[in-house]
Amino acid sequence: MQASRARLFKEYKEVQREKSADPDIQLVCDDSNIFKWTALIKGPSETPYEGGVFQLAFAVPEQYPLQPPQVRFLTKIFHPNVHFKTGEICLDILKNAWSPAWTLQSVCRAIIALMAHPEPDSPLNCDSGMWTLFWYRLVEFISRYYPSVIMGIKS
């Protein structure tokens, strides 16, 4: 537990030092419990989430950084890899692909990347997953066949 406290304290100092380095992420440690953190992340540009601010809750285990933190959205979000009711996030680095090299800050960056590039093949929100897959396939279809139809080109 001492190692995890030391690591979290190091991350806390780094977050304080680099507050302006990443304007899309604001990480805050609970004053009374270093194992509880919250984050505000900005929705990625050119996505349906652009302009939004989303709150995350981190529950860091005593075995951190050997085990990943539990992270969930507190802000409701319609996304294929986020459970709509609980805010649970389906992201490999929070499960089997975790590495002690990850930090809470880099986890936030990975979540922002997931918001921009959902994985509809492994949805927690099936409705959103189906819509996302539908739109991907529609864009693929239009990209492939629309120029041929407009230009009168036959394949």
Active site residue 90: yes
> What is the C-alpha radius of gyration for the chain, rounded to an integer number of angstroms?
19
Three-state DSSP state, 56: strand
**Dist CA 71 CA 60 (whole Å):** 8
Exposure string of 13-50, with b = 16+ CB inside 10 Å and e = fewer, is eebeeeeeebeebbbebeeeebbebebbbbbbeeeebe
Three-state DSSP state, 40: strand
**Dist CA 107 CA 99 (whole Å):** 11
Exposure string of 116-126, with b = 16+ CB inside 10 Å and e = fewer, is eebebeebbbe
Of 29, 90, 108, 126, catalytic = 90
Listed in sequence order, the DSSP H helices in 95-125 are: 104-116
Catalytically active residues are 90
